[in-house]
């Protein structure tokens, strides 16, 4: 049988790259099959190595809010590259970026650029620990904050205070300082705070969870965490790597009007180049070196190409508030019609949408946290995913990932997606 190009490339990749990929989420592990290798994209159409075109709902896992190869981003990168790809010294564009972030997210009084969301979250908890002089952090089961050691911990059931590493290579010493709470459950947080009185430096969370499918915060959850952090003198960290500059100019903070002490960014802030950032209140950020004693650094941090790409994309979002309105209308259009289809096909589901993030859970449960997310029928998703892929729709290859819509999606593309979904659901339920 003749291999298609993705099969051929995946075979080659596996010889030299662990699992054939440079990040596990793209490996099709939970849906099976061969990951599609792409070589170009424009707007919301992404093209594979065999020349097949797909409507893209991954958007590089979030950054491409205005579509691929967005002309101002492409031009900014081209222009910047002529003047050198890196200086490792201060540049004016970094100040422009910091000022722009502050205008869009007003409580980010100072911001430090890094190269990924992982780095941003790792640095934010170090800063919180340095600032408070406390060592433990509370995170939520099913939230993802990158692959820093402190985040790769899953609490053993019944032993919430004694974290167990969920990846070999993470030490027990690290695990004991990470406490896991239940998303949308303030009581579980209060319990941990009580059991670890005076030891909790920070609570970190995705204000809208996007890494166990899309799960919104229940009313009062974010407000409750804000209040608990005030009461226990812990730093509230919103991980806005997915939600930042997506759910509104000021991200989830603006959308829910709950303001954290520190915020982490990634994805959109770099326009598709490797960028992350963490920032927040001046008195907290001033503990960061060289101003303060908490060390944090990066040879390529504030890189001119990355800053140029990010600045071009963020400027477009700042100057065009209507983009957020259009994007929300498109996502709502898709959500409403997708619900109708799921109802017509009599498939058990729960579906969430916040702004331009959405996802479907094939379950009869109401999904509010990690354990209810896990009731989703993964086999049904696997079939649905491949049927959609075969019909030219590229969804995130996992039932536990949010779909990210881009404003480059047209209503024709949304309608084509719905037609594909109608057929895919018909096949999925028959199997």
Residues found near ligand PMP in the complex (CB under 6 A): 61, 116-118, 121, 144-146, 206, 210-211, 239, 241-242, 266, 276
CB of 206 to ligand PMP, least distance (A): 5
**Shortest gap between Cβ of 144 and ligand PMP (angstroms)?**
5
116 vs 50, 63, 300, CA distance in Å? 30, 12, 11
* CA distance linking residue 373 with residue 381, whole number of Å: 13
Q: Kindly state the smallest distance separating residue 356's Cβ from ligand PMP, in Å.
A: 15
Residue 164: phi and psi, rounded to 5, are -110, 135
Question: Would residue 267 show up in a list of annotated catalytic residues for this protein?
Answer: yes
Nearest residue to ligand PMP on Cβ basis: 117
Alpha-carbon distance 30 to 13, whole Å? 19
Measuring CA to CA, which residue among 359, 249, 372, 373 is closest to residue 313? Answer: 249
Catalytic one among 57, 131, 144, 394?
A: 144
Which of 30, 202, 44, 224 is closest to 129 using CA atoms? 202
Closest distance of CB 312 from ligand PMP, Å: 19
The nearer residue to ligand PMP, 385 or 400, going by C-beta atoms, is 400
Judged by CB, which is closer to ligand PMP: 152, or 425? 152
Instruction: Indicate if 79 belongs to the active site.
Output: no
Distance (Å, whole) CA 285 – CA 291? 9
Cβ burial, residue 274 (10 Å; 0-12/13-18/19+): middle
In the complex, least distance from residue 145 CB atom to ligand PMP, rounded to whole angstroms: 5
Q: How far is the CB of 147 from ligand PMP (least distance, A)?
A: 7
The catalytic position among 131, 267, 330, 349 is 267
Strand partners, 47: 40, 53
Catalytic residue among 48, 56, 182, 239: 239
Q: Is 75 a catalytic residue?
A: no
| Euclidean distance between CA atoms 51 and 227, whole angstroms | 53
Question: In the complex with ligand PMP, which residue's Cβ is closer, 31 or 120?
Answer: 120
Cα–Cα distance, 216 to 239 (Å, whole number): 14
| Alpha carbons 122 and 114: distance in angstroms, whole number | 11
Q: List all residues 6 or more positions away from 143 whose beta carbon is below 8 Å from its beta carbon.
A: 183, 204, 205, 206, 209, 211, 212, 239
Smaller CB separation from ligand PMP, 26 or 232: 26
Residues acting as catalytic residues: 144, 239, 267
């Amino acid at each position: 049988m003749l291999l298609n190009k993705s099969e051929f490339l995946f075979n080659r990749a596996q010889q030299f790259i662990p699992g054939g990929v440079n990040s596990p989420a793209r490996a099709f592990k939970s849906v099976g099959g061969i990951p599609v290798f792409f070589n170009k994209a424009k707007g919301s159409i992404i093209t594979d190595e065999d020349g097949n075109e797909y409507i893209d709902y991954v958007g590089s896992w979030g950054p491409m809010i205005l579509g691929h190869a967005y002309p101002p981003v492409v031009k900014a990168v081209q222009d910047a590259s002529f003047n050198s790809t890196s200086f490792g010294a201060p540049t004016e564009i970094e100040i422009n970026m910091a000022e722009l972030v502050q205008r869009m997210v007003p409580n980010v009084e100072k911001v430090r650029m890094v190269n990924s969301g992982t780095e941003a979250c790792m640095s934010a908890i170090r800063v919180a620990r340095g600032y408070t002089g406390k060592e433990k952090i509370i995170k939520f089961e099913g939230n993802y904050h990158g692959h820093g050691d402190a985040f790769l911990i899953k609490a053993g059931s019944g032993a919430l205070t004694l974290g167990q590493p969920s990846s070999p290579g993470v030490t027990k010493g690290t695990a004991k300082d990470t406490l896991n709470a239940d998303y949308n459950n303030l009581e579980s947080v209060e319990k941990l705070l009580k059991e670890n009185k005076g030891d909790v430096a920070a609570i970190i969370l995705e204000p809208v969870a996007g890494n166990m499918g899309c799960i919104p915060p229940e009313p009062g959850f974010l407000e409750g965490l804000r209040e608990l952090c005030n009461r226990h003198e812990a730093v509230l960290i919103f991980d806005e790597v997915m939600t930042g500059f997506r759910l509104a100019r000021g991200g989830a903070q603006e959308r829910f009007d709950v303001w954290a002490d520190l915020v982490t960014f990634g994805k959109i802030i770099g326009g598709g180049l490797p960028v992350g950032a963490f920032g927040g209140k001046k008195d907290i950020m001033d503990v960061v070196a060289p101003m303060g004693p908490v060390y944090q650094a990066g040879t390529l941090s504030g890189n001119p190409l990355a800053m140029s790409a990010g600045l071009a994309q963020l400027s477009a979002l700042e100057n065009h508030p209507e983009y957020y309105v259009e994007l929300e209308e498109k996502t709502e259009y898709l959500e409403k019609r997708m619900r109708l289809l799921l109802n017509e096909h009599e498939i058990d589901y729960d579906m969430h949408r916040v702004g331009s993030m959405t996802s479907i859970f094939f379950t009869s449960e109401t999904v509010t946290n990690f354990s209810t997310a896990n009731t989703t029928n993964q086999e049904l998703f696997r079939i649905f995913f491949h049927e959609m892929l075969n019909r030219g729709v590229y969804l995130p290859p996992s039932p536990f990932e949010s779909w990210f819509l881009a404003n480059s999606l047209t209503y024709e593309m949304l309608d084509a997606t719905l037609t594909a979904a109608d057929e895919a659901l018909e096949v999925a339920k028959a199997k």
